[in-house]
Amino acid sequence: MDVADLLTSAGINISVCVVAFSLYSVLRKQPSNACVYFTRRYISEPIRHDDPFSLHRFVPSAGWIMQAWRATDEEILEAGGIDAVVFMRIVVLSIRIFIIAAVICVFLVLPVNYYGKDMEHKNFRFESIDVFTIGNVEEGSKWLWAHCLALYIITCAVCVLLYLEYKSITKMRLAHITGSHPNPSHFTVLVRGIPWSQDHSYSKSVESFFSTYYPDTYVDHQMIYRPSTVHKLKKDAKKMYRILRPVETEYVRGDKPCYLCGGTAHTFKLLQNGEDSIRSQTSIDELHPTQIEKECPAAFVFFKNRYAAVVAAQVLQSSNPMLWVTQLAPEPHDVYWSNLGIPYKQVWVRKIVVLLIALAFVFVFLFPVTLVQGLTHPHVLTRWFPQIKEVLKLQFLNRLVTGYLPSVILILFLYTVPPIMMLLSRIEGNVSRSDRKRSACIKVLYFTIWNVFFVNVLSGSFINQMSIFSQIKELPMMLAKQVPTQATFFTTYVLSSGWASLAFELIQLFALICNILRRFILRSKKEPTNIALTFPHHTEIPRLLLFGLLGFTLSILAPIILPFLLVYFFLAFLVYRNQILHVYVTKYESAGQFWPIVHNATIFSLVLTQVIAVAVLAMKKSPMASGCTIPLIIISLLFNEYCRKRFSQVFKRNPAQVLIEMDRRDEQWGKEEGIYNRLRSEYCQLAYISRDLTISKDFSVAGPNRQSSTDHNSPQGVNENSLKQGTHHIKLQK
């Protein structure tokens, strides 16, 4: 592939982005699309659709770009919570790292690669991409020290930036724990593996056990029930009736009688706050399950203070580790109720089964990846499909088929991965939605790194891919030989999977099509429900980390990828900020739990780059430069171990010092009684089983408040500043 082929692919993706961004700026101005592009406000306040026709609604504008650029971290925190801020920190960290890498490698390494051999260069447009890789440098050349120096600078920059971010996000997490309103999950322990007894129920067993061994701190417990489908529907109907219970008012002439319940058609109560109104109208006794329902061997146990709950969650409760298994409970909105009924003894079996299914899926996915790799080589393509030999003689079609088409096909196959991994994470038995999404994120990350990077680099045929496992010792040398040759494919992959995916993320194609079908095809006048989307961390974080891996490994081998990568991260900064502010709704918080995944993946990418550099420099017969690169591997691993000891434990366990101080503060302010009264109602299972009947205005107990800046390009009748701004006690650590 030559530079002209690469520019053709870049031109196609630039055109797609320009068209998509322009189309988005027009579509977002249409009042009928408010539920697609202003979802957060749409579910929080009524929107008028009587906007008069005006020409500016059909003129593309860049107002949304300026708004996303000017948004502060405080606004991101208010809109999306800590997880949104952490995600944007990942994007900003990537920008900082690759700005340094681009400056060093484009101005130092790239000229060394280009002039590495005494040869007559062609016109720049017709130069092969291989000329810009380390493969073009003479063996034993002294200029190979430039690559070693660049790697030292990149490693130092990455370690410093990672340390500062880890420290900042750790402080932010602690500030979230100490500064937010009292969180019921801090006082609650999830107990599973409750032993069965013929003499009494699970509930009696829980009460007897914790009253005996935690007599001073045990408050109460809430059993987990497994209602049948019929009973669930009955409870939903009864709950809906309570929500719409008629108010006893004087009959007013002119009101039409309601033949459903005997009152007037306008005598329903107006709910001030969906979830609070339900709880205020319905007592706990009314929601308590009947004897027909079956108890599960799991329960939420409530304690008097946070420290007692943490101790109970981390201590081994029984001599049999499979019984009385405890852990801190997720936040009420984060609980994944359908998995709480899974017997604890099945969890480890489920994890093994999921692992085997994931490995089988990886094995099956080797076939499309091999097909994609074949498309990048014209001679392989003509051997598979002899009839297109004449077509490939056309220069433009040849560039399109071998340069752009393979990455597009691979992307289409990869779109099937996140839903499958999310399903597998659900089967695993995760008890919280954030754990399920985090588990899916890790699976997608491993899958994409293996299939997009390693399989594409090492594939020549399916048999060659399988022989990798018998040649582990030769893996660094194999990577050193193959990675520079795949620079073209990875660059086009960044263009198609990166740039184009951001354009489609912005335009929300699936939601837009559903909205058009509902309004203009089905002619439905009902307002859409269940449109609130949470941020897809399990798809976007692996994509960012994969591009980071490609940027690290190719930074000194083929620096031509770095400018395209930087453009992607800058576009991601604008697009994701816009989506967090307007589209995605935060229903639960993980308080930055995705950051350790990012840190570990970044260290892995850095160490892999250093290992490949050692092998490449050794192949180029520069033993001194190769040997001087080895200390970088040791330094990176020691740095990772230090961060693991210094910061990672805060993301696994809450510090006792912080919890005790919070307990003392609550005791001084007399908050304990109010907290105790909330615990059982917050973890009422029936209230959350039927939560889709209404759309709550408050999406989490201690979650972010809804706030956005004014958008001059939004549909008329939608005023973002009209949202009530709550008090969020987290200060961003700059």
DSSP assignment of 545-603 equals HHHHHHHHHHHTT-TTHHHHHHHHHHHHHHHHHHHHHHT-------SSTTHHHHHHHHH
Q: How many of the other CB atoms lie within 10 Å of CB of 335? A: 23
Same domain? For 475 and 619 the reply is: yes
Quote the CA–CA distance of 24 and 582 in Å, as a whole number: 13
AA identity, residue 184: P
Same domain? For 442 and 529 the reply is: yes
Same domain? For 419 and 489 the reply is: yes
Quote the CA–CA distance of 235 and 118 in Å, as a whole number: 81
pLDDT, residue 485, reads 81
pLDDT, residue 224, reads 87
Q: Is residue 60 part of a domain?
A: yes
227 neighbors 289 (Cβ within 8 angstroms): yes
Starting at the edge strand that comes first in sequence, how are the strands of the sheet with 188-192 ordered?
218-226, 294-303, 188-192, 325-328
Q: Which residues contact 520 (CB under 8 A, 6 or more apart)?
A: none
Quote the CA–CA distance of 312 and 455 in Å, as a whole number: 46
Q: What is the DSSP string of 528-544?
A: P-S------HHHHHHHH
Per the structure, the complete domain to which residue 112 belongs is given by 3-182+345-654
Cα–Cα nearest to 676, from 327, 203, 302, 306 = 302
Q: State the CATH number of the domain containing residue 688.
A: 3.30.70.330
Q: How far is CA 145 from the centre of its chain?
A: 39
Q: Is residue 667 part of a domain?
A: yes
- 3-state secondary structure (DSSP) of residue 268: strand
pTM for the model stands at 0.81
Same domain? For 20 and 150 the reply is: yes
> Looking at the 3D structure of the chain, how many domains does it have?
2
Same domain? For 101 and 212 the reply is: no
Same domain? For 427 and 502 the reply is: yes
Q: Is residue 272 part of a domain?
A: no
- Domain boundary (596, 620, 654) is at 654
Cα–Cα nearest to 451, from 556, 549, 315 = 549
Same domain? For 533 and 491 the reply is: yes
Q: Is residue 255 part of a domain?
A: no
Same domain? For 52 and 197 the reply is: no
pLDDT, residue 238, reads 63
Quote the CA–CA distance of 681 and 632 in Å, as a whole number: 54
Q: Is residue 268 part of a domain?
A: no
pLDDT, residue 248, reads 40
Same domain? For 107 and 231 the reply is: no
AA identity, residue 588: Y
AA identity, residue 429: G
CA angle 430, 431, 437 (to 5 degrees): 55
Same domain? For 471 and 379 the reply is: yes
Quote the CA–CA distance of 49 and 485 in Å, as a whole number: 55
pLDDT, residue 157, reads 96
Per-residue b/e over 497-533, b at no fewer than 16 CB within 10 Å? bbbbbbbebbbbeebbeebeebeeeeeeeeebeebbe
Same domain? For 403 and 548 the reply is: yes
Torsion of CA 730, 731, 733, 734, to 10 degrees: 140
Mean pLDDT by 10 residues, the chain (734 residues): 77 88 90 85 67 74 89 89 93 96 92 80 72 85 90 96 95 85 88 88 91 92 71 61 51 39 39 43 43 74 91 91 92 88 90 93 82 63 63 64 70 88 92 92 93 78 49 73 84 85 88 85 73 87 94 92 94 94 88 93 95 90 90 95 92 88 84 76 67 40 38 42 36 43
Q: Is residue 724 part of a domain?
A: no
304 neighbors 220 (Cβ within 8 angstroms): no
Q: Is residue 385 part of a domain?
A: yes
- Residue written as token pair 């099937």: 416
Q: Is residue 79 part of a domain?
A: yes
- Domain boundary (654, 688, 714) is at 654
- Hey, what are 415's tokens? 């779109």
Same domain? For 25 and 83 the reply is: yes
